[in-house]
Structure 1
């Protein structure tokens, strides 16, 4: 059960949201003083989309299953540990809070919470994603977090200056909102793929390649709200079965335009193990001080 002391805001009126329940025969509920309320789904997540909802295409149940299969076998564990190592130093000794934007199945947030717990630090955790299928998994993996369906291009349902860290792993970024919710001493941790990421697999399956200049565009997008504090590369040499390679190809953005049967068919002729290089960049941004050049 998540902590009731969370810095959440109502997406309708921006009043504080309080976690209530569960009661006899009822699911937990988020409610504000103005009477707006959001009941937890049976699977444990909350849907905070209001108005017209979102125009984003959410990850499908099949894409999410592929991600669970692949990440659950530890293939990206070095990356998850690197993310946790980047986040933990910024967590407050008391009242620590982290926001995982684009939490997906909650895999990276789980590593952060475990690392913080190993250091004796309790963390209030918030996971946001647009896919209800992903959040069903996230709620199961991270029951101590509040997991919410949310469009990150809208005002985030999180109080100003209330979290120590925001993590964004292969997900869209809203720099202005991230800067708003972060505490002054906090950090934004962003992971992106580098050019050449999974190039061997992309050549076989039809996955899209990584555009050149992507890091420059990211830095430009962050410049008004953040300064880059550090950047490091994480490389993982993958040795996979054909089934694991198919899950990897389908679990990301390619899953929106590639058919899993087509991916599997293309991989049939590949000898096992299937090898590929995963290439990531992990960047830590700090909130820009008001008036800084």
Structure 2
């Protein structure tokens, strides 16, 4: 597990940088700040930074995480992962690069990015609210610092510490993303477009895309970021019933519908189950005159 002096993690209690672990016997397994706050790595390799009351938000369950891992591991969204990685790799400096995957989930998107960025070997951070997801992510991306964290709280990273932030189907905290991004950095956001998985949603009870979502996103970003580019990504899907069930269950629907209920709605379906992922990839640059 990596931990070196150049990593810019902040203690979630006092906001001081962690001390270099050096040759300490617990190097890579324990983080200690100058005030003595200490965090030990979980057996799977991630750190849980949520302290005190933790968070009021509902994390993905172990079953939802398993469904996401299975679906993404089969490569269905590989075109998306490749596009996200390409948007990041082109802006990384040759040395000293660092990336943050906010809402890293099971880590598959970050894995593709790190593989494509191998020439620059960036430091990497993966944040997610679900410890179940981080167990997967830490095994898949052992070179990254994988942290259980609530994205709505101040991020445990120093100001101007990363060259890219990626946010794939995850909450967005524009003010904090702007703070941790370096001036020449990029924020890469992926959101669903109208009609995303419409065929599957109609059969399984998945949540529909909210009207006006694009306008709200633009308004939220405007104070801190300028839009550099926007591109649509369409991925035709041809799935087994089990894969279609995983896809429906791994998203927000999983919080209000059990996997069994979704599977029941798809029972007897003729295979392949077809659908189309309709996505938007947005690349932002830090605003020249950030909001105060």
Check whether the contact 1:97–1:162 (CA below 8 A) recurs between aligned residues. yes
Match of residue 74 from structure 1 = 75
TM-score w.r.t. the length of structure 2 is 0.96
Residue 288 (structure 1) aligns with: 287
Q: Find out whether 1:224 has 2:223 as its counterpart.
A: yes
Query: What CA distance in whole angstroms lies between the structure 2 residues aligned with 1:92 and 1:197?
Result: 34
* Contact 2:154/2:176, CA 8 A, preserved across alignment: yes
1:163 aligns with 2:168: no
Shift of 1:101: 0.5
The Cα shift of 1:29 comes to 0.8
Matches within 5 A, 1:44-59: 44-59=45-60
User: Structure 1 residue 257 and structure 2 residue 226: aligned?
Assistant: no
Equivalent position of 2:2 in the other structure: 2
* TM-score, scaled to structure 1: 0.96
Per the alignment, in what secondary structure is the counterpart of residue 17 of structure 1? coil
Q: Summarize the Cα distance change of 1:108–1:291 in structure 2 as closer, same or farther, 3 Å threshold.
A: closer
Query: Do the aligned partners of 1:102 and 1:172 also contact (CA within 8 Å) in 2?
Result: yes
Structure-1 separation of matches of 2:163 and 2:100: 8
Could you list the per-position Cα deviations for residues 187-208 of structure 1 after superposition, in whole angstroms to 9, with x for gaps in the alignment?
0000000010000000110111
5 Å matches for 1:1-293? 1-4=1-4, 5-18=6-19, 20=21, 28-117=29-118, 120-290=119-289
CA distance in 2, matches of 1:201, 1:74: 18
Shift of 1:262: 0.9
Shift of 1:25: 8.1
Which whole-Å CA distance do the structure 1 matches of 2:128 and 2:38 have between them?
Answer: 19
Count of aligned pairs: 290
Contact 1:165 1:182 in 2 (8 A): yes
| SS, match of residue 203 in structure 1 | helix
Q: For the structure 1 residues 19 and 134, does the alpha-carbon distance in structure 2 shift closer, same or farther, using more than 3 Å as the test? A: farther
Report the CA distance shift for 1:96/1:268 in structure 2 as closer, same or farther (over 3 A). Answer: same
Alpha-carbon separation, structure 2, partners of 1:22 and 1:86: 37
Aligned partners of 2:290 and 2:256: how far apart in 1? 44
Residue deviations 1:53-92 (CA, integer Å, cap 9, x gap): 1001000000000001100000000000000001111211
Structure 1 residues 25, 284: closer, same or farther in 2, change over 3 A? Answer: closer
CA RMSD of aligned residues (A): 1.5
5+ long unaligned stretches in structure 1: none
